[in-house]
Every structure is written in structure tokens, then in C-alpha cells.
Amino acid sequence: MAIAGGNQEEEKASLGVPAMEMRWTLNDFDIGKPLGRGKFGHVYLAREKKSNQIVALKVLFKSQLKQSQVEHQLRREVEIQCHLRHPNILRLYGYFYDQSRVYLILEYAAKGELYKELQKCKYFSERRAATYIASLARALIYCHGKHVIHRDIKPENLLISMQGEVKIADFGWSVHTFSRRKTMCGTLDYLPPEMVESIEHDAGVDIWSLGVLCYEFLYGLPPFEAKQHSDTYRRIVKVDLKFPPIPIVSSAAKDLISQMLVKDSSKRLALHKVLEHPWIVQNADPSGIYRAG
């Protein structure tokens, strides 16, 4: 499968490799331990031989991509992620492919998946939640400035770097757009009313998802969770937002969540206003780095 886009000369240069060499191959890397398994393949720790840079190499099987008809989605993901440069967006340095596989050369996020951390802690402290939400708001402001809507912000798509910064890692549902979109995508729990109801949607979908994420960070569960899909639908459409008494969460945090989870997407708190919200100002570490203790 040929993937369009991506400037390999520039990407190779950024890994300290002379720009003249046009193509990556597996021979450019020493392959290390497996980091995890995804739906379409495996991810390995790897070292780019010439620069010695540590990366994560994602190996995807073309047959599985074809079977699930996600080649188009992958191509879009690669094209978008290759061009984004932000401290809270996982870098995609480049890609290459052979007969049976596609390889993505990704920034290595040493502390792994955020949702595993959330499972371990059940819920995050306000300091930790606010630090992540501020970082993600900054990353989304950057994306929206480039007309990229992520559309699938959720804990499973976030990784943590060695330093403790959150990184948006999956652009599989993202879209580059100047127009309003009408596609149904993403995971139910994080879908805003206008996507559930298949009305046109815009960058406001990411503000909604950030509100859902903030709730899940603080309470350990997404706000509209229900046993039946149909009940989750109903709760989202009604914006049936309830704050349980336990764990104890500050009223400032609840205020921010309530301002993001607003049915009318044009009335959701703008991302730059999220950064100015008192709960963020008082709790988020300005470095964007969460350190335990």
C-alpha cells in the first residue's frame, strides 16, 4: 500500500540523518522489546541506527488494514500527524512499507498509556487532571489553528512521555477541514450530542470531548456511561450531567466541566477560555509536566 504525503527528507533530517537518503527501510533500525499490541499490529521499541534516536516502531499488517477497510483512515492519520509539531502531540517522524507491512516511526512515550494510569489510580488529583487538561487544550488550539479536528479525544488515545507530559497519540478519526462535517465516528461515550444526532459538527466536538475527559479524570468514569448504548445516547442528547458526591471534586472543576459539556456547540467554552478558567489557573502546572508526590 502506498501512502501519500509526509516529507521523508525533512523527517530523516530531524532524526539526524542526512537529508539525501530518501527512503526508510527496516535496516535503518535496531528493533528492541515489544511495547504493545494494537488492533492491526505490534509496536516495538527501536533505535534509528545513524542518529541513535530511540523511537517506537508501529508495524501494521496490510492484510488486516485491507480486511477492516481502514487504509483510507490510516493514510489520513499519517498525512495529518506527520505535519503536526506540538509538545503534547506524539510526533510521527515518518513511515515506510514493504510487501506485507506498513511501519510508522513514532516518538517514544516511555510512561505508556494514560488510561492504564487512570485505571491504576481510579481517578486523578485535581492538580494532575488540570495539568493534563491544560496541555490538551493547548494541543487542540494548535490543531484547530491548522484546521485539524481530532474527533476522538479519550484516555485510550493518550500516552505519557518519560517527563510526564501527556501526548495525543491517535489521529485515526481526525480530519483536516475548512467545512462542517457530518460523519459519524469515534467512541460512543465521548460523542457530543450533534454527532449522536448526526447533525453537522465542527471543532466544538473536541471541546465536548475535553469536558468528558476532564470528568473521567476526576471521577474515574465518563459522565454519560450507562449499561445500554441506547441509554448513553439518551443521556448525551439530554446532557444528563450529574456529579456524584464521591470522590469530592471542587466546585471550580465542576463549573469548567459544565461549561464544556453544553449541547449547543457554539456556546461551549472556547479552548483559550479553558486555559483562563480559575480551576486551570490554580491547579495546572505551567510546565505541563505532572510529577507524582
Q: How many Å apart are CA 157 and CA 183, to the nearest integer? A: 20
Q: How many Å apart are CA 150 and CA 206, to the nearest integer? A: 7
**Is residue 44 a contact residue for ligand AMP (CB under 6 A)?**
no
The residues with which 148 forms a beta bridge, in sequence order, are 176
Q: How many Å apart are CA 90 and CA 109, to the nearest integer? A: 8
**Is residue 37 a contact residue for ligand AMP (CB under 6 A)?**
yes
Please count the residues of this chain forming the interface with ligand AMP, following the rule CB under 6 A. Answer: 14
Cα 167–175–226 angle (5° rounding)? 70
Quick one: 34 or 247, whose CB is closer to ligand AMP? 34
- C-beta nearest to ligand AMP: residue: 38
In the list 5, 36, 244, 247, the residue contacting ligand AMP (rule: CB under 6 A) is: 36
Per-residue DSSP letter, 201: B
Q: What's the number of CA atoms in the CB half-sphere (13 Å) around residue 8?
A: 13
Quick one: 85 or 238, whose CB is closer to ligand AMP? 85
Of the listed pieces 31-39, 141-149, 189-197, 222-230, which binds ligand AMP according to CB under 6 A? 31-39
Of the listed pieces 103-111, 137-145, 146-154, 204-212, which binds ligand AMP according to CB under 6 A? 103-111
Contact 218, 280 (CB under 8 A): no
Quick one: 113 or 194, whose CB is closer to ligand AMP? 113
Cα 253–259–263 angle (5° rounding)? 135
Of the listed pieces 32-40, 46-54, 130-138, 267-275, which binds ligand AMP according to CB under 6 A? 32-40
Angle formed by the axes of helices 251-260 and 126-145, to 10°? 30
Q: How many CB atoms lie within 10 A of CB 285?
A: 16
In the list 84, 92, 109, 280, the residue contacting ligand AMP (rule: CB under 6 A) is: 109
Site for ligand AMP in 144-173 (CB under 6 A): 159
**Is residue 112 a contact residue for ligand AMP (CB under 6 A)?**
yes
Residue type at position 250: S
Site for ligand AMP in 190-249 (CB under 6 A): none
Cell numbers standing for residue 219: 471521577
Of the residues 30, 98, 152, 231, which is catalytic? 152
Active site residue 152: yes
Residue positions annotated with a catalytic role: 152
Give the footprint of ligand AMP on this chain (CB under 6 A): 35-38, 43, 56, 90, 106-109, 112-113, 159
